[in-house]
Amino acid sequence: MDGDRPESIRYPWPEPPAPGESIEIADGVLWIRLPLPMALDHVNVYALDDGDSWTIVDTGLSSKKSRAIWENVMAGPLRGKPVHRVVVTHHHPDHVGNAGWFQSEHGAELVATRTAWLFARMLTLDVQETWPEETLNFYRSAGMAPDILAKRMADRPFNFADGVFPMPLGYTRIKQDDVIRMGGRDWDVHIGNGHSPEHATFWSRDDDLVISGDQILSSISPNLGVYATEPMADPVSGWLEACERLQSLARPEHLVLGGHKLPFTGLPIRMRQLIDNHHGALARLLDELDQPRTAADCFPPLFKRPIKEGEYGLALVEAVAHMNHLFHIGAVTRTRRDDGAWMYQRKE
């Protein structure tokens, strides 16, 4: 985009901090990056200086490697001051993964929305050595390719606890319209949905900072997925509602600190892009549904690019999310195929 246009999206820091190091985004606000063993190979976390201690926002995936990086960060950029509080934006493992470690090993307070904490703790306690039949049936209902399903069934399922440190009992709840003080600033709490339920974002009253987690990202659209836990969920509806609501708060000068990619300014135009992206995807899907199709059949119109095997799982749950939305708003009908897959077709 034209960098001279005031409404354009800009990236003040073109390069992220190296592992174990930090970039000072604003007075008392540090940007730290931790590695992830997947295609999206990093997560951004933030440390806010509370004077005699630190608040950190999000924690990275639980692993010996990430905890070693945290130890280096605490000894280096955090100058040996304790982490007294951990705030998690949402319950996904790359954000909540080391929260329990900070609680149990460092005595930190955990702050989260109620749904984020309940989901995280429930899922850490739900360890499966073989695939639950409900999950396999869900994959079949989405039309998962038989070869991919067979390959998954041959392996032990990934468990939430594989990437999340054990979480002790107890947390402090935040909710919509709360105000939390971190890093010498008062932050308004605004709750998003779609990517995860009750996703917390933080909007500074004292300057132009926004900590957005995965609710608002600079150059990728957050995954909206449906899972066997709630197979008829409609995260697209929650996503669009949250984006429209948060868009009303957005100012061009906001500096947005997301959970992935680079911090950016130009939030109003980014919110419009995120909204338009899913309206466009829904329109393309409807154009393809003159004939009955499964969710897995609809990758080309939804994503407009080839989906590799490593991306297949996230693509499938997002395809189901968009099909569910069209079904809930009455734009499509669905019938069950003999193999258990739902076939969706546009209403005449």
Domains defined for the chain, CATH in brackets: 23-127+159-290 (3.60.15.10)
pLDDT of residue 199: 98
Backbone angles phi, psi at 221, to 5 degrees: -95, 125
pLDDT of residue 1: 32
Listing from the earlier edge strand, what are the strands of the sheet with 199-204? 179-182, 185-192, 199-204, 209-213, 255-258
Kindly provide the residue ranges of all beta strands, DSSP E only, lying in 88-208, ordered along the sequence.
109-112, 172-173, 179-182, 185-192, 199-204
Q: How do residues 327-348 score in pLDDT, each as one tens digit?
A: 999 999 999 999 999 999 999 7
pLDDT of residue 310: 85
The CB density around residue 3, as the number of other CB atoms within 10 Å, is: 8
pLDDT of residue 3: 39
pLDDT of residue 168: 96
pLDDT of residue 4: 40
Report the number of secondary-structure helices (H) and strands (E) in the chain.
10, 14
Whole-Å CA distances, 40 to 94, 260, 310? 11, 8, 11
93, containing H or E segment: helix 93-96
pLDDT of residue 56: 98
> What single DSSP character describes residue 329?
T
pTM: predicted TM-score of the whole model, two decimal places? 0.95
pLDDT of residue 39: 84
pLDDT of residue 204: 98
Which residues of the chain carry a pLDDT beneath 70? 1-6
pLDDT of residue 345: 97
Backbone angles phi, psi at 191, to 5 degrees: -95, 130
